[in-house]
């Protein structure tokens, strides 16, 4: 199948402006400005494009929430990409950047925004500088700037680099950071689409890089063609980032609805060194782990089907864990990550991640007691659904997920001596996640 998103795999130099133009580039934008803004929103609504940043929220609906009479509106492209095991947005921005810029401009036209800000994670140095050059090329061709393509609408695009904080991927923390404030989530409502809730408190659409990369294709090919890919509730292509103990880790663009089994064994080459697959993290560190049973492997990768399994598709960063993975050690690494990344604004998340990490340290030192398992059962439940942003829930999920499916491994750590605990932990095989973090 020809790629819709990772077009660099079919046309390696598509990052170049001329190559992009020669291959239909910016035709989606030209098509869009011939329609009214509300018609553009309707096309994206009809396509049922769902946000690829994690929540899977309807993109067209998000755009339609923007009050049309507001004087100042913004589009913000979320390129913070910090979830462990997620490295799709980086490939898109490095190798097919004009498609993201074009998608963001179509979004900006749809809500009549005066500016687009691309918020890139702090480590994306080279990529950010290159993006500025790509934006300049588009500006010179009047694809952005004043009176774009003679439409009477003007809009500029700017790149802003964060400082490398996971929490700044959360949209309201991102907006604070972009404004020069402390990168902590805001109390909502007001939501970003509302007056008072967006960038500089003006109505703002925040979309993920991959979400926007879908939009030019939808504009050119129509909603029905888009819905012919994937499943009715989760249409379109998706980039699955496969990492961990995979034989062929990497980004795979496949229709939503592809099963775990097809993704892992047909595309990613199965588990490295011929080992058995023990567990799967479907969305990096932020959703519960799944045991690699036949039922799970035959589940389609859609927003609704993975939710039914008790986990979440999120940004679809699929981390594989082989038969030698120590699930207590793995959960401890993820809890460490969230403790480090918690912004500290809400007590359950700030204190909960701190104490959870202490319990894991105790278990791994061989000082665990049955009481520690009770604490691991109760603390995450007190962090779930009660915090300002979803990081509190994310931090609870590695604990609850591993306890649910691999409780026997926790019991091995209770009531054993320090040297015994060391021996158990030494068997653990490090799980190399992708570019995202230190899992």
Ligand X SMILES: Cc1cc2nc3c(=O)[nH]c(=O)nc-3n(C[C@H](O)[C@H](O)[C@H](O)COP(=O)(O)O)c2cc1C
Under rule CB under 6 A, which residues in 138-167 are in contact with ligand SF4? 167
- The window from 23-31, 237-245, 316-324, 381-389 that contacts ligand SF4 (CB under 6 A) reads 381-389
| Strands in 152-262 per DSSP E | 156-161, 204-208, 237-244, 250-255
**Nearest 5°: CA angle at 250, between 172 and 58?**
35
x/- mask, ligand SF4, residues 26-45, rule CB under 6 A, reads --------------------
The alpha-helical segments, DSSP class H, found in 283-390 are 294-297, 303-308, 327-341, 347-364, 370-383
Q: In the complex, which residues of this chain contact ligand X (CB under 6 A)?
A: 51-55, 57, 62, 78, 80-83, 167, 169-171, 206-208, 211, 389-391
Q: Assess contact for 302 and 230: CB atoms under 8 A.
A: yes
x/- mask, ligand SF4, residues 308-347, rule CB under 6 A, reads ----------------------------------xxxxx-
Query: CB-wise, 6 or 346, nearer to ligand SF4?
Result: 346
Query: CB-wise, 344 or 415, nearer to ligand SF4?
Result: 344
Residue 393 interacting partner from ligand X, ligand SF4, none (CB closer than 5 to 8 Å by kind): none
Q: Cβ 249 to ligand X, closest distance in Å? A: 19
Using alpha carbons, list the distances in angstroms from residue 115 to 74, 101, 153, 201. 5, 12, 11, 14
Residue 326 interacting partner from ligand X, ligand SF4, none (CB closer than 5 to 8 Å by kind): none
Query: CB-wise, 213 or 363, nearer to ligand X?
Result: 213
Cα gap 300→96, rounded to integer Å: 27
Query: CB-wise, 56 or 392, nearer to ligand SF4?
Result: 392
Q: Cβ 396 to ligand X, closest distance in Å? A: 13
Q: Assess contact for 303 and 234: CB atoms under 8 A.
A: yes
Picking from 436, 314, 392, the residue whose alpha carbon sits closest to that of residue 54 is: 314
- Say if residue 313 is exposed, middle or buried (CB neighbours under 10 Å; 0-12, 13-18, 19+): buried
Under rule CB under 6 A, which residues in 164-183 are in contact with ligand SF4? 167
Picking from 369, 371, 301, 362, the residue whose alpha carbon sits closest to that of residue 335 is: 362
Kindly state the tokens that stand for 62: 């998000």
Query: CB-wise, 346 or 433, nearer to ligand SF4?
Result: 346
Residue 194 interacting partner from ligand X, ligand SF4, none (CB closer than 5 to 8 Å by kind): none
Using alpha carbons, list the distances in angstroms from residue 259 to 55, 263, 352. 20, 6, 35
Residue 402 interacting partner from ligand SF4, ligand X, none (CB closer than 5 to 8 Å by kind): none
Cα gap 97→90, rounded to integer Å: 9
Residue 349 interacting partner from ligand X, ligand SF4, none (CB closer than 5 to 8 Å by kind): ligand SF4
Query: CB-wise, 206 or 242, nearer to ligand X?
Result: 206
Residue 345 interacting partner from ligand SF4, ligand X, none (CB closer than 5 to 8 Å by kind): ligand SF4
Bridge partners (DSSP) listed for residue 241: 251, 317
- Among all chains, which residue has been given the structure tokens 């030494």? 426
Residue 267 binds to ligand SF4 (criterion: CB under 6 A): no
Interacting residue ranges for ligand SF4, rule: CB under 6 A: 167, 184-185, 342-346, 349-350, 387-389, 391-392
């Amino acid at each position: 199948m020809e790629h819709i998103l990772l077009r660099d795999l079919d046309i390696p130099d598509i990052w170049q402006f001329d190559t992009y133009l020669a291959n239909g580039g910016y035709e989606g934008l030209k098509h869009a400005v011939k329609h009214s803004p509300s018609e553009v929103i309707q096309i994206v609504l009809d396509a049922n494009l769902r946000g690829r940043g994690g929540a899977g929220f309807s993109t067209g609906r998000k755009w339609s929430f923007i009050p049309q009479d507001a004087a100042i509106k913004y589009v913000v492209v979320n390129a913070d990409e910090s979830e462990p095991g997620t490295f799709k947005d980086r490939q898109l921005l490095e190798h097919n950047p004009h498609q993201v810029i074009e998608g963001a401009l179509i979004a900006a036209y749809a809500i009549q925004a005066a500016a687009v800000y691309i918020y890139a994670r702090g480590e994306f140095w080279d990529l950010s500088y290159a993006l500025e050059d790509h934006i300049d090329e588009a500006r010179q061709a009047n694809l952005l700037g004043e009176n774009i393509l003679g439409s009477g609408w003007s809009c500029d695009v700017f790149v802003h680099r964060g400082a490398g904080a996971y929490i700044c991927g959360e949209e309201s923390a991102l907006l604070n950071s972009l404004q020069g404030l402390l990168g902590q989530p805001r109390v909502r409502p007001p939501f970003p689409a509302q007056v008072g809730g967006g960038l500089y408190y003006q109505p703002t659409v925040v979309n993920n890089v991959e979400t926007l990369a879908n939009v030019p294709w939808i504009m050119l090919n129509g909603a029905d063609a888009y819905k012919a890919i994937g499943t009715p509730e989760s249409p379109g292509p998706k980039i699955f980032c496969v990492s961990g103990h995979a034989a062929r880790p990497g980004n795979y663009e496949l229709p939503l609805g592809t099963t775990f089994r097809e993704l892992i064994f047909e595309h990613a080459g199965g588990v490295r060194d011929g080992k058995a697959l023990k567990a799967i993290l479907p969305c990096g560190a932020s959703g519960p782990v799944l045991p690699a049973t036949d039922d799970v492997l035959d589940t389609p990768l859609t927003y609704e089907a993975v939710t039914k399994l008790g986990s979440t598709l999120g940004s679809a960063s699929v981390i594989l864990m082989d038969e030698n993975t120590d699930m207590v050690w793995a959960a401890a690494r993820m809890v460490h990550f969230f403790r480090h990344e918690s912004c500290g604004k809400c007590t359950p998340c700030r204190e909960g991640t701190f104490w959870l990490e202490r319990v894991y340290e105790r278990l791994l030192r061989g000082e665990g007691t049955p009481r520690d398992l009770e604490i691991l059962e109760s603390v995450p439940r007190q962090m779930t659904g009660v915090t300002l942003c979803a990081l509190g829930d994310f931090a609870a999920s590695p604990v609850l997920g591993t306890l649910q499916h691999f409780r026997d491994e926790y019991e091995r750590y209770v009531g054993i001596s320090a040297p015994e605990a060391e021996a158990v932990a030494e068997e653990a095989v490090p799980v190399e996640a992708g570019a995202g973090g230190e899992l």
